[in-house]
Structure 1
Amino acid sequence: MARRYTIGSSLLGRSVKQLIARIENRVIERTLISRLKYALRHTGSLEAAQLHIAQMRGGYESGALETLPSFTPRGLITRGLAPPPRPDQSPNKIQRSAGNRPVVLYVAGGGFIMPPSRKQKNMVQRLAEAIDCEIMMVAHRLAPEHPFPAAPIDFAARYFGLLEQGHRPENIFLAADTAGASIVLGALQVLQQDGAELPAGIVLFSPWCDLSLSGWSYITRSMSSQSPFRMETAAFCARLYLQDEPVTSPLASPVFADQSGWPPILIHTSENDLHFDDAIRMTENGQKHGCNVRINYWDSPRHHLERLSSEAAKQSFSEVNAFISRNWRPAPA
């Protein structure tokens, strides 16, 4: 049910990596707190607040506001649309390809209020190459203009659209990182309530599944500075997203959901992550409700360690590849 990975290297190498990661964490933490304080100073004027959030989103998506360097990947599908058919492909070949190859619907976390960053797009590109699957990054409406449940409804609609395009549920996998996990698992419950055929499996990286912030890791990681994120930033994003919705709503906080009938779930996280207890509770709840949930966690001090290329990220992607291979059921020849 759970497996712990240790970052292998010499004692000196491990110490250097730990130091670099903690410096990165402090830079991210200080930057986020600074931006949060700046945003709060604009809450008195709706026009100023709207301008500020538009500027933030533009800078976040373009990379201008990155706290760590990145680059723009090429060839990534970012709107949930299938690539256009080649001129030499017949409709029958296209249909067989859609029905017999795994496809991943991915939601990048942005605290429910930001679009995917360049670093997240880069990470998804590396994941697609590692698992040799088509990955579609699904856009959704953003809070606070479009609060809960707009995002999970958008994702559920994208899933239904994929079925209408000829993809079989047995070939579809859902994936997300951080806040995207709440959106994906909320959409899964919407699909289940509608009686839809559920996907073959779900992959979650550093999932944020408890918007009530009730896990012990929210306190310990914030106090010890082991994570680049703190309770105040999480609470700020949760408030903008939920607004009047209770924080314990299962559609928003899946740790409170009944996981009966859910497809297999693979969770990857770091034991120093702010959301570590969310991952543990999702795994325990899955066992309680008969859902096959496995958690792999690393001794890395990085939040969402797959964002940066490393041996740990390669291990993570390798486990994802094995998970998809185990749970993918191609159509009979």
Structure 2
Amino acid sequence: MPSPQHLLLKQFLTAATAPLARRRPSIAAMRLSLEIGSLFQFLPWGVHLDCFSLEGMAAEWIKPENANPRRVLLYLHGGGYVLGSLNTHRSAVGALAQRCAMHALTIEYRKAPDFPFPAALDDTLLAYRWLLRQGYRPHDIIVAGDSAGGGLALALLLALRDNREPLPAAGIGLSPWTDLELPTATIRRVAHEELQLLEALAIRGWGGLYADTTPLTAPLVSPVQADLHELPPLLLQTSDSEVLYDDVLTFAAKARCAGVPVTLQTFEGLVHWWHLFWRFVPEARQALDQAAAFTNGIWAAQQAAARVLHSLRAPARRPDSRARV
């Protein structure tokens, strides 16, 4: 059962989106609304911000004081490939990075409709390759994202695999958008609730803006359509009441059949993007804590494997040839 704080959040979001049922605001107006909302979101205490230009692209380092500087969380914000920015997700990324004790790199990737596919994926590949050129090792990088950013993180893994480039240690998808076709069955499932129906209809249109002339079924557009073999361990989080729930379950099942280690965590009755409201929604803090536990498990598995490899490579001790009288 969702918490009272989440119920209040849901009532607020329902009231705030009610005008959308009567008129369709422009993408520019929705972007402005999100930017205004982000003015009230702040980084957690003890997390520092470093803004810079990554080969001409706006980017940020988010650095918790407790972080291991060798490990990086490459985080891709959500927003249906048309909305969202560094500002809208900075607080939640900071909370996640602090829990994971990692530095986080976030980028202002290009968005539709001005820059359709593959612009966002190209920017993401640019950021990942830049990390490698800075000396970060692939097995010290975890790629993460929410909603469309989660789908973009999965597309990045697929593109790296197909290009035979080194893969990061793991991927994290927080309610990732894996199927831009958004099946009609999903629309029917959420049609009883105004907030979810509006989300479904909106992102269905945004999917077309992002794909543009590329088929919605292209694997790097809709990762659920891809061959998912040889991907690194994945963490997928979703709520059973949000629009993308069915797609996440389908992707998780397909990835497992391909031999990918998948950790699927489902929550009950939560709205899409609940992670962003971590300051006052306990389920958001719980989800971020579980994501941190997943990353800790990745590092622990690496250390265990390194110990085993070291023991196999260590020369056997020669017996003492000196006779004892």
Aligned to 1:38: 25
How far has the Cα of 1:270 moved from its partner? Answer: 1.0
Structure number, greater radius of gyration:
2
C-alpha distance in structure 1 between counterparts of 2:203 and 2:234, whole Å: 24
* Runs of 5+ consecutive residues of structure 1 not aligned to the other structure: 1-5, 8-13, 40-51, 85-96
Aligned to 2:152: 183
The match for 1:111 among 76, 80, 83 is: 80
Cα root mean square deviation, aligned: 2.8
C-alpha distance in structure 2 between counterparts of 1:242 and 1:144, whole Å: 9
Deviations 1:245-274 (A, max 9, x none): 111111011111111000111011111111
C-alpha distance in structure 2 between counterparts of 1:125 and 1:166, whole Å: 23
SS of equivalent residue, structure 1 residue 114? coil
Aligned to 1:253: 222
The match for 1:70 among 25, 28, 40 is: 40
How far has the Cα of 1:200 moved from its partner? Answer: 0.4
SS of equivalent residue, structure 2 residue 172? strand
Relative to structure 2, which stretch is displaced further, 25-34 or 170-179? 25-34
Judged with a 3 Å threshold, the aligned counterparts in structure 2 of structure 1 residues 75 and 32 are, in CA distance, closer, same or farther, namely farther
How many percent identity over aligned positions? 26
How far has the Cα of 1:162 moved from its partner? Answer: 0.3
Are residue 60 (structure 1) and residue 60 (structure 2) matched?
no
Aligned to 1:304: 273
Are residue 323 (structure 1) and residue 323 (structure 2) matched?
no
Aligned to 1:139: 108
Judged with a 3 Å threshold, the aligned counterparts in structure 2 of structure 1 residues 195 and 115 are, in CA distance, closer, same or farther, namely same
How far has the Cα of 1:81 moved from its partner? Answer: 5.4
Aligned to 1:171: 140
Alignment of structure 1 residues 173-322 onto 2, 5 Å? 173-214=142-183, 216-225=185-194, 227=196, 229-309=198-278, 310-322=281-293
Alignment of structure 1 residues 79-158 onto 2, 5 Å? 79-80=58-59, 101-116=70-85, 118-158=87-127
TM-score if structure 1 supplies the norm length? Answer: 0.78
How far has the Cα of 1:75 moved from its partner? Answer: 2.6
Aligned to 1:42: none
Judged with a 3 Å threshold, the aligned counterparts in structure 2 of structure 1 residues 137 and 292 are, in CA distance, closer, same or farther, namely same
Q: Residue type of the partner of 1:30?
A: A
Deviations 1:37-85 (A, max 9, x none): 233xxxxxxxxxxxx73x6545533x2xx3x98324373356445589x
Aligned to 1:89: none
C-alpha distance in structure 2 between counterparts of 1:174 and 1:302, whole Å: 23
User: For the Cα contact (< 8 Å) 1:105–1:135, is it kept in 2?
Assistant: yes
Q: Residue type of the partner of 1:325?
A: N
Q: Residue type of the partner of 1:273?
A: E
C-alpha distance in structure 1 between counterparts of 2:21 and 2:87, whole Å: 21
C-alpha distance in structure 2 between counterparts of 1:18 and 1:169, whole Å: 37
SS of equivalent residue, structure 1 residue 249? coil
The match for 2:130 among 161, 174, 180 is: 161
Greater strand share, structure number: 2
Relative to structure 2, which stretch is displaced further, 265-274 or 25-34? 25-34
Q: Residue type of the partner of 1:38?
A: P
Q: Residue type of the partner of 1:127?
A: L
SS of equivalent residue, structure 1 residue 106? strand
User: For the Cα contact (< 8 Å) 1:25–1:302, is it kept in 2?
Assistant: no
User: For the Cα contact (< 8 Å) 2:49–2:60, is it kept in 1?
Assistant: no
C-alpha distance in structure 2 between counterparts of 1:322 and 1:148, whole Å: 33
Ranked by relative contact order (alpha carbons within 8 Å, sequence separation 6 or more), the top structure is: 1
State how many pairs are aligned.
289
C-alpha distance in structure 1 between counterparts of 2:7 and 2:197, whole Å: 13
User: For the Cα contact (< 8 Å) 1:216–1:277, is it kept in 2?
Assistant: no
SS of equivalent residue, structure 1 residue 37? coil
